[in-house]
Amino acid sequence: MSVLDSKVPKGPLKTKWTDYKNHIDLVNPANKRNIDVIVVGTGLAGGSAAATLAELGYNVKTFCYQDSPRRAHSIAAQGGINAAKNYQGDGDSTYRLFYDTVKGGDYRSREANVYRLAEVSGNIIDQCVAQGVPFARDYGGLLDNRSFGGVLVSRTFYAKGQTGQQLLLGAYSAMNRQIARGKITPFNRHEMLDVVKVNGKARGIIARNLVTGEIERHSAHAVVIASGGYGNVYFLSTNAMGSNVTASWKIHKKGAFFANPCYTQIHPTCIPRSGDYQSKLTLMSESLRNDGRIWVPKNMEDVMAIREGKKKPTDLSEDERDYYLERRYPAFGNLVPRDVASRAAKERCDAGYGVNATGEAVYLDFASSIQRYGIEQAKIHNIENASKEKIYELGAAIVKAKYGNLFQMYEKIVDQDPYKTPMMIYPAVHYTMGGVWVDYNLMTTIPGCYAIGEANFSDHGANRLGASALMQGLADGYFVLPYTIGDYLSHDIRTGKIPTDTPEFDAAEKEVTDRIEFFINNKGEHSVDYYHKKLGKIMWDKCGMSRNAEDLKTAIDEISALRKDFWKNVNVPGTTTEYNEQLAKAGRVADFLELGELFAKDALVREESAGGHFREEHQTKDGEAKRLKEFQFVSAWEYKGEPKDAVLHKEELVYENIEVKERSYK
Sheet of 36-40: strands edge to edge? 184-188, 59-64, 36-40, 222-225, 449-451
Residues forming beta bridges with residue 146, ordered by sequence position: 156
C-alpha R_g of the chain: 25
Backbone angles phi, psi at 610, to 5 degrees: -160, 145
DSSP classification of residue 139: T
> In whole angstroms, how far apart are CA 300 and each of 209, 327, 362, 524?
56, 18, 14, 49
DSSP 331-352: TTGGGS-HHHHHHHHHHHIIII
338 is catalytic: yes
Q: What is the spatial distance between Cα 134 and Cα 137, in angstroms, rounded to a whole number?
A: 9
Backbone angles phi, psi at 255, to 5 degrees: 120, 0
Instruction: Evaluate whether 105 touches 434 at the Cβ level (below 8 Å).
Output: no
DSSP 230-297: -GGGGSSSSS-TT--SHHHHHHHHTT--EE-TT-EEEEEEEPPP--TT-S---B--GGGGGT-EEEEE
The answer for residues whose C-beta is within 8 angstroms of residue 34's C-beta and 6 or more apart is: 493, 496
3-class secondary structure, 57: coil
Q: What is the spatial distance between Cα 192 and Cα 353, in angstroms, rounded to a whole number?
A: 46
Nearest CA to 196 out of 175, 179, 215 is that of 215
Residues in the chain: 666
> First CA to last CA across the chain, in angstroms?
27
Instruction: Evaluate whether 283 touches 76 at the Cβ level (below 8 Å).
Output: yes
At position 128, the amino acid (one-letter code) is C
Burial bucket for residue 662 (CB in 10 Å: 0-12, 13-18, 19+): middle
Q: What is the spatial distance between Cα 397 and Cα 377, in angstroms, rounded to a whole number?
A: 10
Nearest CA to 580 out of 187, 241, 244, 213 is that of 213
Secondary structure element (H or E) that encloses residue 365, with its range: strand 362-365
Burial bucket for residue 273 (CB in 10 Å: 0-12, 13-18, 19+): middle
3-class secondary structure, 37: strand
Side-chain half-sphere exposure of 475, counting CA atoms within 13 A: 26
Backbone angles phi, psi at 168, to 5 degrees: -65, -35
- Please identify which of the residues 116, 203, 208, 338 carries the catalytic annotation: 338
Catalytically active residues, by annotation: 338
